[in-house]
A and B are shown apart, each in its own frame.
Chain A
């Protein structure tokens, strides 16, 4: 049975796919049999990204597939070491289904109240539905300064949730890497790769901790 990590958010553009792709890449590099399930059939961004990755000839390659529903993807859990569910930008019954099945539910968020407030409410709702708090974790993305990161961490902590170590800074190089089918640990800049790696390693530690 695969370990399952869910990437959820009510909002688009916060970093779900970015982190899911990054973790897929790192897991595949470590020899794990990985499936990245793209649950947003309307946009299919991760599937498109993977097509660019294959065209670019990047390594390692793994498996990315589009699914209409979370349950369709979950049925494949037996066949892989790691199943990553890249959810749509919407909170619904599928969010709860993902959270019930996943060992870790990662919710990326930016530093603005516009991002943070709905994100906290989604986790509140999952807790109310019976999901243990320790399975829910925030990942900070598109962070501009250290002060902004500290303030965002304090906000999330005050709300009663955990935040992964490390944060993804707002950089054009991450977007450029994504445009070429590469992950956040495959940019042209070692320092940015290290910052992304710290965030992903923290995710792996939580998953196996």
Chain B
């Protein structure tokens, strides 16, 4: 009786070729920490430093009225006024 070698069954698929590599080795050693974003993060303006000065009562009233009429906060008014002053002085 002839001897047949035991048939081998291949259960595993072929291994991946070198062309399939990704760029894992370029990744940082530690995974970057995720940044948590909520409503406050999105509303943040970066205005965190207090700015205080003394002015006359008349100027304060005038600024308050102007800001209310133009729907500006004091900090927005100051920012816009400063930008305008810089532009004017540059001329």
Q: Which of A's residues lie within 8 Å of B, judged by CB?
A: 10, 68-70, 90-97, 113, 116-117, 120-122, 124-129, 151-152, 154-156, 158-159
CB-defined A-B contacts under 8 Å, sample of 25:
A68-B30, A91-B25, A91-B27, A92-B27, A92-B29, A93-B25, A93-B28, A94-B29, A95-B24, A97-B29, A113-B13, A117-B15, A117-B16, A124-B16, A124-B17, A124-B18, A125-B21, A125-B22, A125-B25, A128-B21, A151-B11, A151-B12, A152-B12, A154-B12, A155-B12
Tell me the number of A-to-B contacts counted with CB atoms below 8 Å: 65
B15→A155 contact, CB < 8 A: yes
Q: Give complex CA distance A121, B73 in Å.
A: 58
Q: Give complex CA distance A158, B14 in Å.
A: 8
B29→A93 contact, CB < 8 A: yes
Partner of A93, one of B11, B20, B27: B27
Q: Give complex CA distance A95, B25 in Å.
A: 7
A121→B27 contact, CB < 8 A: no
Q: How far is the CB of B26 from chain A (nearest CB, A)?
A: 7
Q: Residue B31 at the A interface, CB < 8 A? A: yes
Partner of A10, one of B17, B24, B28: B24
Interface of chain A, main secondary structure? helix
Q: How far is the CB of A113 from chain B (nearest CB, A)?
A: 6
B20→A121 contact, CB < 8 A: yes
Q: How far is the CB of A25 from chain B (nearest CB, A)?
A: 27
Which residues of chain A have C-beta atoms less than 8 A from B25's C-beta? 91-93, 95-96, 125-126, 129
Which residues of chain B have C-beta atoms less than 8 A from A156's C-beta? 15
Other than the given A68-B30, A93-B29, 9 more pairs (CB < 8 A) read A92-B28, A93-B27, A93-B28, A95-B25, A117-B15, A121-B16, A124-B21, A126-B25, A128-B18
Q: Give complex CA distance A159, B20 in Å.
A: 12
Q: Give complex CA distance A132, B14 in Å.
A: 23
Which residues of chain B have C-beta atoms less than 8 A from A128's C-beta? 18, 21
Known: A121-B21, A124-B21, A125-B21. A93 touches B26 (CB 8 A): yes
Q: How far is the CB of A6 from chain B (nearest CB, A)?
A: 13
Q: How far is the CB of A164 from chain B (nearest CB, A)?
A: 18
